[in-house]
Structure formats: structure tokens, C-alpha cells
Amino acid sequence: MPDVVGLLLYLFLGGCVLVLGIASTRWFSRHLAPVLYDLPGGSWAVGALLGLISVVGWVGAVSGRFEDFGAARPGRLSRVARVGMRGVCWAGVLAPVVFLISGLRGRNCRFYEPGCAYISGTGPAVLAYVVVAGGVGLLCYRWRRAAGEERRARERERLRKLRKKGKGKSRAAR
């Protein structure tokens, strides 16, 4: 019974945090975007920077580097740290998207409402974000894929050499 109560409490608090997080993100974005778009470089630089943040977050989220973290000391704390780091990486991927979308005009909003108006500079920022995140993301993806193929080729060659010497199988398989 205590497990059910804990689960319900966890779901309730998680739902509250999610709803408040989405609402506060929109409010925060709508107040911060005009200030950022007026900086040197304007909305183009902001969009490009947010694109780079998303790509770095994606590289961290899909990499296997967090799997080795705490491998020497397996335990609950190291698992929590791994999940936390991966969560931060995914937040780095999604936060710029939410920030940019919050600057666009709301779907069911009237143009004269202050919380629904289009924020000037959001269009170029979204365009710069898409170009940078798409271009740099594609380059990172191709680089990761090429490195993985090279690693697999080296492993195949190593196994081929071992088999040639008669040592490529385990003792049980021989």
C-alpha cells in the first residue's frame, strides 16, 4: 500500500511540475526573447547559438559515455547521476525549441492580446536554428556513423587475425 501512495504522490507532483514548467517557460520566453533579439548579432545569432546548444545536447544524450560513468562503483547514486546527466542533455535539446516556439503567435489567440502577439525577430531566429541545428547535426551524425564503422572494421580485422592464428574462438567453442 505505501508503494501505491508513493506512486500517486510522485505522479501528482510530477504533473504539477510539468504544468508549471510549461507555463513558466512560455512566460519566461516571451519576456526574455525581445531582450536577446536586441543583442549584437540579433535574432540570427540567437537562433544559431540555440541550434548549437541543441546539437551539443543531442550528442550528449545519444552518446554512450554515460554508461561508463560509475561503472567501477555500481550503485544507486551512480545510476541517479547517469539519469540526471542524460536528462540535462535532453533538456539542452528541447529547451531551445520550446523557447523559439514560445515567441510565435499563439494558435487560438487574438493578435491584440499581449501574451499572444508575434515577437519580432522570432522568424529569423527559427530559420537560423533550423539551418544550424540541421547542418551541424547532420555533420555530427555522419562523423559518429563513420567512427562507428571504422571501429567495427578494426574489430573485424582483429578477429580475422585471431582466427587465422586459431585463437579467434573461445575455449568452450573449440
The residue written with cell numbers 559515455 in the block is 65
Under 8 Å between Cβ of 82 and 70: yes
CA distance 67 to 100: 32
Quote the pLDDT of residue 128: 93
Is residue 147 within a helix (H) or strand (E), and if so which, with residue range?
helix 122-164
Cut 0.85: pTM above it: no
How many residues would you count in the chain? 174
Quote the pLDDT of residue 85: 83
Under 8 Å between Cβ of 77 and 106: no
156: phi > 0 → left, psi -120 to 50 → alpha, else beta; which? Answer: alpha
Span 89-147, pLDDT tens digits: 888 888 888 888 887 776 666 666 666 777 788 888 999 999 999 999 899 889 888 98
Q: Cα torsion at 34, 36, 42, 43 (round to 10°)?
A: -70
Mean pLDDT computed over 163-172: 66
Mean pLDDT computed over 148-152: 91
Examine the pLDDT at 69 and tell me if it is beyond 60. Answer: no
**Which of the two residues, 118 and 150, has the higher pLDDT score?**
150
CA distance 174 to 164: 14
